[in-house]
Structure 1
């Protein structure tokens, strides 16, 4: 089972971002836009996980969620990873979010799930380029976007099935959620 762990913005924050990106999403054939209903902040990508490791990580993620309180966050502006990925920035309690991501990754490693060992960069992926694309105009177009604050108060374990969604995109299925800061 292909899994990742994330927090998700509430519907009104998603709607703000959807409105801010609407003009960019129409007529942009070089970019494959993520479906707004699947927008999330990935804390850790777990990859393919067998049933035994999944059961173990579920328990560990519950404990990690209980140790970390909610985060006040907002989405603003944009950035890019090279010429392939367009994303929006995360502002607010990003240090708290980084600590949560570190706990999630530690839970995965203790469950014998290999996770990337690189610094966590809070962002929400908006689109991926089909080949290399000049993403600078899209970054510039979103530079003035500033979404409202919202509270990330749940941690989610998500099953991602590549190609199972509309237009051959990934389909995300929520497997489990935990409230942050509650035992």
Structure 2
């Protein structure tokens, strides 16, 4: 199973950005991600055998319990090359980065190899993926869209939310669906 670990912002925290994306409408060569799928990836774990999920879940529960919940908000936009259009994340970034490092370490210690969520990106860059290029050479529109979104959102500061749990998510390649397998409370709460 293809797994990643993430935080999911509540709908009210992403609504302003979702409204701005809706205003942009359909763009040839761009595949928008629906807001109900928006998440902040902490670690991409890659393919994990089903028998590896229980020890992974235990390691993730311990990592989550050892970290206080970060307060976050969406802020800014940008692109990863010509493939991904994203909204940035602001707030308790030191706390968020420490949590991401702990989650990645927990994954490795439980035998999940993992890999960078965005190939070529080494440092943790918290973001929410808004859109992807829908084919070779289709990403030329993404930088323009990032500029348009930045202009629309420049005067707005997204509402903050407190991330209270970490989610272990399975990505189903066959239909693009995400399935939350388990959630783990942050800050010493019960898993």
Q: Does 1:55 align with 2:54?
A: yes
2:173 is matched with which residue? 162
**Alignment RMSD (CA, Å):** 1.3
| Residue aligned with 1:83, SS | coil
2:184 is matched with which residue? 178
Q: Deviations over 1:119-168 (max 9, x none)?
A: 2111111100122322221111111423111111110011110132xxxx
TM-score, scaled relative to structure 1: 0.92
TM-score, scaled relative to structure 2: 0.88
Structure 1, unpaired ranges of 5+: 165-169
Residue 124 of structure 1: which of 123, 128, 136 is its match?
A: 128
1:111 is matched with which residue? 110
1:16 is matched with which residue? 16
1:92 is matched with which residue? 91
Which aligned runs of 4 or more in structure 1 are off by greater than 3 angstroms? none
1:142 is matched with which residue? 149
- For 1:14 and 1:162, locate their aligned partners in 2 and report how far apart those are by CA, in whole Å: 25
How far the C-alpha of 1:62 sits from its partner, in A, is: 0.4
- For 2:180 and 2:160, locate their aligned partners in 1 and report how far apart those are by CA, in whole Å: 24
Residue 162 of structure 2: which of 134, 147, 151 is its match?
A: 151
Matched pairs, number: 177
How far the C-alpha of 1:116 sits from its partner, in A, is: 2.5
